[in-house]
Amino acid sequence: MAVTTDGPMGAASKTNQEAFDAVSRAQKKDILFATGGLIVMAIAMTLLLTLIGDLVIRGAGRISADFMTSYPSRLPQRAGILSAWVGTLYVMVVTAFLAIPIGVAAGLYLEEYAKKGWLSNFIEINVSNLAGVPSIVYGLLALGLFVYGFNLGKTILVAGMTLALLILPIVIVSTREAVRSIPKIIKEGAYGLGADQWQVMWNYVIPAARPGILTGAIVGLSRAIGETAPIITIGALTFIAFLPPPPVTGDFPFLSFAWLNEGFTVLPIQMFNWTSRPQADFHTIAATTGVVLIALTFSLNGIAIWIRYRLRKGYRN
Amino acid sequence: MVDDNMTLTKTNTAKVKAVEPDFDDEDTTPPIKPGKEREPLRARIEDFSFFYADGFQAIKNVDMPILDRKVTAIIGPSGCGKSTLLRSLNRMHDLYPGNRYEGRVILEPEGENLIGPESDPVIVRLRVGMVFQKPNPFPKTIYENVAAGLRVRGIKKRSMIDEAVENALRRAAIWDEVKDKLNGSAYDLSGGQQQRLCIARGLAPNPEILLLDEPTSALDPIATAKVEDLVQELSESVTIVIVTHNMQQAARVSHRTAFMYMGEMMEFGETQTIFTNPKHPRTENYITGRYG
A66-80, A228-242, A281-295, B22-36, range with greatest mean pLDDT: A281-295
| A184–B122 C-beta distance less than 8 A | no
pLDDT more than 90, % of chain A = 18
Instruction: Give domain status of residue B212, yes or no.
Output: yes
Q: Is B34 helix (H, G, I), strand (E, B) or coil?
A: coil
Q: Which residue of B has its CA nearest to A120?
A: B1
The answer to whether A255 contacts chain B (CB < 8 Å) is no
Mark whether A152 and A42 lie in a shared domain.
Answer: no
| A180–B125 C-beta distance less than 8 A | no
| Residue B9 clears pLDDT 70, i.e. is over it | no
Mark whether A257 and A167 lie in a shared domain.
Answer: yes
Instruction: Give domain status of residue B25, yes or no.
Output: no
Mark whether A47 and A183 lie in a shared domain.
Answer: no
The answer to whether B98 contacts chain A (CB < 8 Å) is no
Residues 6+ apart with CB under 8 A from B161: B147, B150, B151, B155
Mark whether A48 and A99 lie in a shared domain.
Answer: no
Q: Which residue of B has its CA nearest to A204?
A: B138
Q: Which residue of B has its CA nearest to A316?
A: B139
Q: Is A274 helix (H, G, I), strand (E, B) or coil?
A: helix
The answer to whether A185 contacts chain B (CB < 8 Å) is yes
Q: Report the candidate in B149, B188, B155 with the shortest Cα–Cα distance to residue B168.
A: B149
Mark whether A256 and A156 lie in a shared domain.
Answer: yes
Q: Is A248 helix (H, G, I), strand (E, B) or coil?
A: strand
* CATH number of the domain encompassing residue B75: 3.40.50.300
The pLDDT-based confidence of B61 (bands split at 50, 70, 90) is very high
Q: Against a cut of 0.80, is the pTM above it? A: no
A–B: how many Cβ contacts below 8 A? 76
How many Å lie between the alpha carbon of A204 and the closest alpha carbon of chain B? Answer: 8
Mark whether A91 and A48 lie in a shared domain.
Answer: no
Instruction: Give domain status of residue B28, yes or no.
Output: no
What value does the CA radius of gyration of chain B take, rounded to a whole number of Å? 19
Which among A180, A192, A196 has CB closest to B129? A192
Q: Which residue of B has its CA nearest to A201?
A: B152
Task: Quick: pLDDT tens for A23-33.
Answer: 999 999 999 99
How many Å lie between the alpha carbon of B26 and the closest alpha carbon of chain A? Answer: 37
Contact A164, A92 (CB under 8 A): no
Q: Determine the structural domain holding residue A196 and report its residue range.
A: 65-316
The answer to whether A114 contacts chain B (CB < 8 Å) is no
Where among A12, A39, A60 does a domain terminate? Answer: A60
Contact A107, A179 (CB under 8 A): yes
Q: Report the candidate in A75, A117, A126 with the shortest Cα–Cα distance to residue A241.
A: A75
Domain count, chain A: 2
Mark whether A139 and A156 lie in a shared domain.
Answer: yes
| A188–B95 C-beta distance less than 8 A | yes
| Residue A214 clears pLDDT 90, i.e. is over it | no
Contact B278, B287 (CB under 8 A): yes
Mark whether A277 and A222 lie in a shared domain.
Answer: yes
Residues written for chain B: 292
Mark whether A9 and A124 lie in a shared domain.
Answer: no
Q: Which residues of A touch B125 (CB under 8 A)?
A: 191-195
The pLDDT-based confidence of B289 (bands split at 50, 70, 90) is confident
Task: Quick: pLDDT tens for A270-292.
Answer: 888 888 888 777 888 888 888 88
| B122–A204 C-beta distance less than 8 A | no
Average pLDDT estimate for A66-71: 74
Q: Is B117 helix (H, G, I), strand (E, B) or coil?
A: coil
How many Å lie between the alpha carbon of A181 and the closest alpha carbon of chain B? Answer: 9
| A208–B95 C-beta distance less than 8 A | no
Question: What pLDDT is recorded for position A252?
Answer: 67
Contact A265, A240 (CB under 8 A): yes
Task: Quick: pLDDT tens for B182-205.
Answer: 999 899 999 889 999 999 999 998
Q: Which helix (H) or strand (E) holds B269?
A: strand B264-270
Where among A16, A33, A60 does a domain terminate? Answer: A60
Q: Which residues of B touch A183 (CB under 8 A)?
A: 136
